[in-house]
Amino acid sequence: MSLPMSSCRTAARQPFDALRTDLVPAFLLSASSAAEYIGLGVQALASAHGAQAAAIGALVGLMTTVLGLVVVAFGGGTQPLVSGPRIAATVLMSQLVARLVALPAIGGMGLFGVLSCASITVLCAGLTQLVLAGVRGGSIVRMVPASVLSGLLFGSAILAVASQAQVVTRCTLDWPPTLIVVGVGVGMHFAWLACARRFALPRGLSLFAALLGATAAFYVVDARAPAVAACRTFGTVGLDLSMLSRIGALQWPRVFAHLDAALLATLAGFGVVVGLIASLDTLIAAGSVESDSNRRALPNRDLGVHGVANVLAGLAGLLPVVGSLTRSKLAWNAGARTRWVSVFHATMLLLLVVAGTRLLGLLPKLAAAAVMIAMALDMIDEWSRQLARLSFADGVPRRIVASAAWLFLAVVLATVATGQPGEGFGVGCVLALFGLWRKPRALDVTIVPVGQHLCVRVRGALNCFSVDRKLVGPLLARPASDGGSSDVELDLREASHIDASACRSLRQLGAQLDSRGIGLRFKVSAAQGETRAALLAFSVARGDEIVSVV
């Protein structure tokens, strides 16, 4: 008998349900992230000259998000996955634009010619992602230890707070008023969360409450001690949608006349690097959504649809489209559960572009900084908190917890020290390989139906590199049959050892089985005290779900 596990999607929701659950998170995303999209667009053209550079950059940043949201919403497999420009890929594009502006042949074509030339790189990035999806490169992210991903989240949160601290310290307001503005914003965030728990209010409005509170506080303080222009508001003018028709594939015939083999190789090289970085960011974001939702992600499909989005972005002359961990986390914490949050978010941004940015221009930068700080604090996930609790608890499997905690700490330190989440991720992956020194390294899984039960026998090592691929994945991929199985028994008596990431994967497996009315129990030997303790400590199973056999 096999499991009814072929689909991990929830039942289709009625339009009214999507409107009720996803409209508020979409509004929150638009209110808190629109300035970020504009800032990333302006960053991409920071080295360009001319009065239109900032306006075009803002327009490109917003329209990149609109394109990415729509394509990923209707083509992606992991939802809600919020996509748009991201800092790492945008910085690389900014470096490329600076190099193109310095070339007489390309710079002489003006800003639109430079952007059209740079769009070839975005096209190459999309093709790189399509190749990675074709060779199933997206599945590799499941082999990454849980501590690496959580350490990356924690380190990124620290970097986000540090970047906003720079915004705060550049302001010329006296320190007490400045701290009041930021403190009111962050305080409103946590006050709303407390009220939401007590009065069943929507949690998704917490950051919007922070935005309104900090904005009101700023204008009160500013009336007494005005701030300089650099610290006031996001005033952006001069957006005109017709400018988009002057960049992208329509300009390529003119651009190609100025290209040589060396420059084409440079554009393609940048494209490959941007594609790899964008893929890593996207897969990490998809993994975070998978962990939050207890629904199986489709990483190769997500990688492929982002490749399609970037091919379209290249043709349109936009920035690279990347899955965003922070925005996807924000959407989930706000209550979004379907692809419609991305559709609503895209619609609101498009209305913002068409109707103008006067309303956005009224938002003070200190209020945006307060929102980003509050959002960064929300990035500290449950795995990070659980590791902290277990590190100071008694009676837990010390070796397993210590190994996970040290790896988590190493990733956090590497991320903060370098200021690059990608480098922190790389350090974590390299350090994780040292965990393979212990033998045996292989994992063998045998699945045997016994009546209404499914017996799964495990032999070897339960570690992050194999447990999802050889145990969790095959179980969830089994097709439905008549009746199905009522419960699953994992026989771990021949498992040599287990690590913390395997525990998290098994906990997610249990949650997905439970959502389908299927029980999960474990069988261990009396000598496997560490394995039993790990299953209990990491909330994989309760005591009555573990059977010890002498």
Judge if 38 and 136 occupy the same domain. yes
Distance CA 343, CA 22 (A): 9
Residue 48's pLDDT is: 79
Residue-wise pLDDT tens digits, 205-217 = 777 788 889 989 9
Last residue of a domain, one of 344, 362, 380: 362
273: in domain: yes
Residues 326 and 464 in one domain: no
In a domain? residue 316: yes
The reply to whether 1 falls in a domain is no
DSSP-derived 3-state class of residue 132: helix
Let me know whether 128 and 271 are in one domain: yes
Query: d(Cα 333, Cα 349) in Å, to the nearest integer?
Result: 20
Q: Are residues 358 and 461 in the same domain?
A: no
Q: Are residues 324 and 455 in the same domain?
A: no
Give the Cα separation of 360 and 356 in Å (integer).
9
Amino acid at position 470, single letter: K
Indicate if the pLDDT at residue 10 is higher than 50.
Answer: no
Instruction: Assess if residue 118 is contained within a domain.
Output: yes
Residue 58 has a pLDDT of: 83
Q: What pLDDT, on a 0 to 100 scale, did the predictor assign at position 2?
A: 45
Q: Is the pLDDT of residue 479 over 70?
A: no
Same domain, 340 and 452: no
Q: What is the mean pLDDT of the chain?
A: 84
Q: pLDDT tens for residues 223-245? A: 887 766 656 776 655 556 777 78
Domain end (from 306, 337, 362):
362
Per-residue pLDDT of 334-379, as tens digits, reads 788 889 999 999 999 999 888 776 676 677 878 877 877 887 787 7
265, part of any domain: yes
Residue 104 lies in a domain: yes
At 547, is the secondary structure helix, strand, or coil?
strand
Whether residues 358 and 500 share a domain: the answer is no
pLDDT over threshold 70, residue 508: yes
Is residue 462 within 8 A of residue 443, CB to CB? The reply is: yes
Domain of residue 468 covers 443-549
Degrees (nearest 5) of the Cα angle 234, 196, 537? Answer: 105
**CB contact at 8 A, 2 and 480:** yes
**78, 289 contact by CB (below 8 A):** yes
Pairing between β-strand 322-323 and β-strand 83-84 as defined by DSSP bridges: antiparallel
Same domain? For 349 and 454 the reply is no
- CATH code of 500's domain: 3.30.750.24
Task: Tell me, yes or no, whether 198 lies in a domain.
Answer: no
Task: Mark whether 355 and 478 lie in a shared domain.
Answer: no
pLDDT number for residue 229: 62
Q: How many domains does the chain have?
A: 2
Are the CB atoms for 289 and 129 separated by under 8 Å? no
Same domain, 355 and 474: no
Q: What percent of the chain has pLDDT over 90?
A: 34
Confirm whether 403 is domain-assigned. no
Q: Which amino acid is at 150?
A: S
pLDDT higher at 506 or 8: 506
The domain boundary, picked from 309, 330, 362, lies at 362
Residue 174 in this model has a pLDDT that exceeds 80:
no
